[in-house]
Each structure stands twice: as structure tokens, then as C-alpha cells.
Amino acid sequence: MLEGYYYGKSVIKIIKEELAKGEKYMSSYVLGFQDIDRTKLMVVGGKGANLGELSRIEGIRVPDGFCISTEAFKRIMGETPVINELLDQLSLLKVEDRDKIGELSSEIRRVIEGIAIPEDINKEITRFLFGLGEKNAFAVRSSATAEDLPTASFAGQQDTYLNIIGKEAILKHISKCWASLFTERAVTYRLQNGFVHRKVHLSVVVQKMVFPQASGILFTADPVTFNRKVLSIDAGFGLGEALVSGLVNADIYKVRNGKVIDKKISTKKLAVYALKDGGTKEQETPPEQQNRQVLTDEQILQFERIGRKIKEHFGCPQDIEWCLADDTFYIVQSRPITTLYPIPEADDQENQENHVYVSVGHQQMMTDPMKPLGMSIFQLTSFGPRFKAGGRLFVDVTHMLASPDSREILLDTMGQHDPLIKDALMTIIERRDFIKSLPNDKKERSPSKSNKGMPSSGFHTQIENDPTIVSDLIKSSQTSLEELKQNIQTKSGPDLFDFILEDIQQLKKILFDPQSSAVFMAAINASSWINEKMNKWLGEKNVADTLSQSVPNNITSEMGLALLDVADVIRPYSEIIDYLQHIKDDNFLDELVKFDGGQETRDAIYAYLNKYGMRCAGEIDITKTRWSEKPTTLVSMILSNIKNFEPNAGNRKFEQGRQEALKKEQELLDRLKQLPDGKRKAKETKRMISLIQNFIGYREYPKYGMINRYFVYKQALLKEAEQLAQANVIHEKEDIYYLTFEELREVVRTNKLDYQIISKRKDEYKLYEKLTPPRVITSDGEIIAGEYKRENLPAEAIVGLPVSSGVIEGRARVILNMEDADLEDGDILVTSFTDPSWTPLFVSIKGLVTEVGGLMTHGAVIAREYGLPAVVGVENATELIKDGQRIRVHGTEGYVEIL
């Protein structure tokens, strides 16, 4: 179960239950901490609910206090009509409307702060203050209902006031807290996270002040590495405000299993302290104290035990605010840590062995989360177990790393797929204490045992250099696909699911056919041989990149050129071009026939969709919208091709690449013949070049075949979904995407479904979309990041992996969604990842930079074939490079410069 799920119960469920019980709390506007627990979330907000819950844990000290409930806030808002009018205006705004947000939120705050607190609420507050000692100092803190949730922490969005003394001052600051729900930052945060302003209510926490000698934050999981077994403490002198506001650097202590494993003692020049008459002030720390350790080692270990106890109570990692007064630790807040990536669940929970997981998405060029139906079908198509976490799939490579033989194979494979994964795995191996090493065992070389679902670079049969092998494989795949389309027509209900399961076995045979693998492995090995030998013999790097241009049978690169041909059909018809520039929905194809040239345009687009319409971004997830389902996706690319190219550009581009490859081949052979033993070297090289040109194009075909079959399955499953929707079992067809294949089979069989499952999974999916998946994660939750180890690069170079040689300068276009692409000829595409669906954009660009990828991933293969310099695996490229900047891409050396 996802750690972030709120104390074992969905937040949405708690909120709904509490709304239903809302009447029960109408009588009381103020509740003491002793009357509050985690179920009172809707009454006292996240902070209040957590403080009440903390007060109940034996041995945990929480300064006493009370909460003014959300009912008081709702009453004040409801009794002031002008606020409703302002909220109506606020609800129409978007994040970009900064000036208007500032204006409206300021007006709402002014109105709220001017409202007198009603007499009955005032009396209840006075009674509680009297009980706690009215002359004491208090902290007055905001607590929103959408706060400290697993999906959004809302940290720092509402206001806190410290050291407030006297009833009148406290009442004034309660109003200030209510008003702080409408600061610009709080309004903007809600807009960004999709929260409705009217549905977020505010409670106010009034809590006795503690005057601490030290304070800070404790994380029960390391906030840097995410390791759940390492606890991290930030500590400073005085009140925690100095740390939170960034005035001072904190001491940082790391603790694991009752041992302090790391300490960073900072220079603490300032501290914030409470004043006797109220308020706070900054104070210089005496020089002799500035570099002193804030907490003793004994206190650190004592506090570790407190942190673990709180984490156990809440059932998920916590971010805990604390202060130390009179050598006693007081807890003033605890909230779930929302940024942790969930840990894949091992299948040996009892043994508690250490595990290492590698991301499948980074190898498949799809790091977005997958919906349950997509994930389960992809798992059925794969060999070996996959482990789920955060809506992504991972492979457990622990056993492969434990054996010296299979470790070598794994590292070699990862080196080709994603060198950052390889480097991260090397880091784990070098630690020596995380995985127990097995003795060297030659038997481990069996791929079925050691590769546990990983792609393999070895174990391939030898193959003749005969291009008809490729055409036979393609023909066989197409025949099989036509049979599937024919046979699936007659299937429905539970029979359909049995039929799809049988066909997936057929698909796996095609995908993992030894002859099929041997074809592209022969080309990959020939490319490696050429690069190594030409560098050694002629001093030229990455020569295979040029030789791979415009090879036959590359279904993905043909797709990009075919869209240029579609542009050629439309180019003569200005009326159609104008019409396409203004279309909004996917019915545009039916409207085309009204125009001159409309029938030809429609036929050309349909012919293209017939061959490539099953493709889309993130296509390994069957639930993603295909081009055939949303043809508007292609329109901006077609218009871009009309604008950027002359007629017949597709053929010219292909021929130009072919000529460059032939010219390079001739040049290499001529130079080799001049060398000692040149005749033999030239002959061997000629054979290797022939292998590349005959076979490398097929590298893209197996996935094309798989995605074709996926689309056939999808169309059949959506027919079942239509019937479920008509029977009111589901609300809309797309609801089936949130069920696994087996769950959907059961729903179709019984015509029954607990719809809460769909709602819960939709919420989970929204959470997963915000998470960044790691390449490598351990069973401790630690994320291991790999590094490129390279020397002699320019100081400002942004480093990646060289996958397609050449150097190019141009304007960077940072594009995260293919549909938003507005490219000029000569732009350089910068994006997070590219799969085959991005290929039509490649015809317009001069270079490529991606955050994810390796030597043999799709973007790299197509970049080489189109002759585009490319650097992939550039961490955070889409943040480091700004849209519109001029950059230089060094495809041969593997780095990017911002000019």
C-alpha cells in the first residue's frame, strides 16, 4: 500500500464521512486538544488533527492548546455576503492572472480581518484561554482542511503568529489566520493543485508557547536520499522560525539504527527568540556559541526514538517540528512527508533481505505513471516479475547483482540502455555491505534464471547477412496481426478476455523470437565493432552514426517522412490549410469533404492513420489516447511541415541520408586500404557496414507490432466498457482504465463493481503524476543517482550521453507535450523523453536533447538515421535549458552548451 495513504484510510473517504457527520459539531466552535483525534480533519484541519493525535501518544510532550473549528470560519464567511461575491470572482481566475489574484485576495483579507468575532464564539475562546492561563504567551497558527495531506502538504501557505499575549491580541490574530487563507501564495497554490477555494476551510490552533533553547525539524526518512532507515534532524538555537525562513543554516544530524552516522555543524550567527511582552526578535548568537553543536549526541539518539515512535503511530514517514526547553523535547507539529517515492514491494517480506530495483520506464522511454489496465497488460506481455510503485514498474535485480557472472551481463546491458543506471548499480556494488555476493557460478549464465525480466545483450543466435530475413519477419508479423483483427471480431464477454490472454502468448513469441533478436543484435554488435575499430584504425569516433542514415525497413523513421508526404497532398489547398489552423475537435475529418481538395486530404490522413494511428506518446500504456482516437494531435505537425518544407522533402531527406551513408562508407574503405593489412580490414569493415544497413532498421519493428496488437485489444475492451456504462456499472468508458485486466474480466463476468475502487485509483493516479520516478531505488527507499564520469569538458557543459554524432547550434525548444510543438526548421528539441510517436517532429529539427535514454533507445536510433546530433540522459535538461535559448549540442562528445 502507498505510504502516503492517510493513516490507512483515503483522505477523500475521511472528508466525505466527516462532511456527513458535520451536524454533530455544530454546537461547539472550540475544541481542546484532548477532544481531537485524526478523524476530526474536517473540523480542525490537518495541523489541528495531527496535534490532537500527537497529544494522545504516550510519552510524547505536546504544548497544551485548543482549536477554533472550521464551523466558526464557515459561519463568519456565510454571514458576510460581500465575501461570497469576491469568491465568485476569484473562482474564475487562472494561475497566470497574477495582478487580479493580488487585488482580489487583498480585498478578501481586508474584509475578514474587519469582521468582529461573534459573541458566543468569543465566550468559548475566553473560557479555554482562562483554563490555560490567560496571561501566558500563545502561538496562533492556521490549520486548513486541505493541509498536511499525503497529496499536498500546503506547507507555509497559511500564517503562524508566535508569542501572542493577551485575549484581545489573540482574537485579532485568529482573524489574521482566517484571512491568511487568501494570501496570494495560498490562492495560487490552490489553483496549481486543483483545490476549490470554497471547499478549503480554516481552523485556528491556539497553543501555549514554549520558549526553547533549540528547535528544528526531524524527518523520519532522509529528505535527500529518501532512505527510510536514516533519520535526519535539522537543529538551530532559539525558535524554529530562523530555520524555516532561511535566516540561518541548521546543524544536520543523520541517525541510523541508534547510531549517529553523519553530522554537519553549521555556523549559526543568528537566532530568533521570544520577547517578554510579546512578539519575536532576531538576535546575534555569541561568537563562542556559533559553531557549537546544538544537540548533544545523547539528545540526538533520545530524539531518534521519539521520531520513530511518532512514525509508527501515524504509519508513514513524518516531518516533525520540535523544540527543546528545559532539556525536554516538545513536539509542535507532525505531518506526512509527501515527496517520498514509494518503495516497490518485495515478494520476500518475511526474509527482510535488501533489494535493488531498476526502473522499467527509463528503458521503455515512458517515465509517466501508467493506469492499472495499461500496467497489467504490459506486465502480461513481459517476461519475469515486475514490481509496482508510484504507478511505475520496476525490476528486482538483486539476484543478478549478487552473482559475479550475471552482474557483468546486467552492467553491460545497462551500459547500452542507460549509463546512469549502470553507474548507480556500480555505487551499490562498491558498498559491498548492501548485497551478499554469491560465489562465481557459471550456471547463472542462463538468461531465464539470472535476467529476471531484464533486457539481455547476450544469448543471441548467429544470423546470416541476408536482408530477406527481415522482410520475412515483417510479413509474418503482419499476417499474424490480420488474423488477430479477424478473429477478435467474434469475441465478447469473458471469452474476449481468454482470447486476449491467448493472443498475448502469441505476441510474446513474436517479441522474444530468437531470430528477431538476433537480427537487431547483429546490427548493434556491428555498430559497436565499427565504432571501436574505426576509432582505433582511423582515429574517427562514432562512425556508425553516419552509416546508419536512411537504412531500409525502419518503420519509425518512415513514419516521420510519411507525414511530410501528407503535407504535400494538402499544400496546394490554401482553404484547407486555413481550416486546419482553426479546428478544435476530432470531427474535422468529416468536415473536410466540403472543401476543394478535401477528399484527397481526408484520404491521405486516413491512410496515414491506418498505418500509424495506433501510436501515441507513452504508447506502452494501452490506456493512452492513440492518434486514431485523437487525430487533431497530428494537425500541428502537418501544418509545421507545410510551413517548413518544400514539396517532396520526404524523399529528398531519405535520399540525402542514403548518399551521406554511402559516401562515408566509400571514404572509410578507401582510407582502410592504405593501411598495413588494409585489404583484410576493408573487407571486414564492408561486411559489418552491410550488417548495419540490412538489419539496424528492424530494431524498431517488434515494438510497432506490439503497439498494433495493443490497439486491437483496446478497441475490443472499450466495446465491453460501453456495455458496462449503459448498465450503469461504470460512469464512463474510460473508468475501465483504473481496473487491472483481471479485475475488468471479473466486472464483465458479474456486471458488478464497487465504484469506490475507481475513485480511489483516480486520486492515486493524480498523486503519482506529481512524483518523479527514480532510475534505481533500494528496499530502504534510497534513491541512487548515477553520474557521468568524464573529463576535459567546458566548465559550463551540461553532460549527457553521446548517441548521435555531430555538433549543431540552434534555438532550444523545450517541449513537454508533443501537441504543443511549434517548431521552426533548424530548432533543437529539448524534452524529457521521446518514444516513436515523437518521430514526426524529428524531420523539423536539427538536434535532440532528452533527460532519459541510452544508445539503443528509440530517440537515439532515429536521430542517427536522420543524421541529427543528439545527447540523451541529460539530468533535468528541461529545467536547465530555457525555451528559446541558443544552445550547442555536441553529439559526438555528449554535452550541451548554453551560448
Please say whether the beta carbons of 793 and 895 come within 8 A.
yes
Specify the 3-state DSSP secondary structure of 246.
Answer: coil
Sign of CA dihedral 873, 346, 342, 228: negative
Q: Which of 528, 471, 485, 356 is nearest to 425 (CA)?
A: 356
Q: Which single residue is written with the C-alpha cell 512578539? A: 279
Strands 259-264, 270-274: parallel, antiparallel or unpaired by DSSP?
unpaired
Q: Is 201 among the catalytic positions?
A: no
Please say whether the beta carbons of 786 and 419 come within 8 A.
yes
Q: Catalytic pick from 355, 417, 858, 890?
A: 858
**Other residues' Cβ atoms within 10 Å of the Cβ of residue 430:** 8
Ramachandran region, residue 216 (left: φ > 0; alpha: ψ -120 to 50; beta: rest): left
Q: How far apart are CA 760 and CA 4, in angstroms?
A: 13
Q: Which single residue is written with the C-alpha cell 533507445? A: 857
In angstroms, what CA-CA distances link 886 with 284, 523, 799, 882, 896?
Answer: 46, 35, 17, 9, 11
* N residues, the chain: 899
In angstroms, what CA-CA distances link 100 with 104, 105, 157, 178, 191?
Answer: 6, 8, 19, 21, 13
Q: Which residues contact 295 (CB under 8 A, 6 or more apart)?
A: 214, 233, 235, 251, 253, 303, 324
Q: How far apart are CA 772 and CA 832, in angstroms?
A: 11
Q: Which of 802, 532, 546, 516 is nearest to 664 (CA)?
A: 546
Q: Which of 328, 348, 329, 461 is nearest to 396 (CA)?
A: 348
Burial track 367-394 (b if 16+ CB lie within 10 A, e otherwise): bbbbbbbbbbbbbbbbbeebbbbbbbbb
Q: How far apart are CA 860 and CA 45, in angstroms?
A: 50
Sign of CA dihedral 865, 869, 872, 877: negative
Please say whether the beta carbons of 856 and 416 come within 8 A.
yes
**Other residues' Cβ atoms within 10 Å of the Cβ of residue 836:** 25
For Cα atoms 807, 812, 813, give the angle at the middle one, nearest 5 degrees.
135
Enumerate long-range contacts of 107-114, CB under 8 Å, 24 or more apart.
Answer: 108/83, 108/179, 108/182, 109/179, 109/180, 109/182, 109/183, 110/179, 111/80, 111/82, 111/83, 111/86, 112/76, 112/77, 112/80, 112/83, 112/175, 112/178, 112/179, 112/182, 113/175, 113/176, 113/179
Q: How far apart are CA 499 and CA 491, in angstroms?
A: 7
Q: Which residues contact 472 (CB under 8 A, 6 or more apart)?
A: none
Retrieve residue 251's grid coordinates: 546543524
Q: How far apart are CA 577 and CA 598, in angstroms?
A: 10
**Other residues' Cβ atoms within 10 Å of the Cβ of residue 547:** 25
Catalytic residues: 858
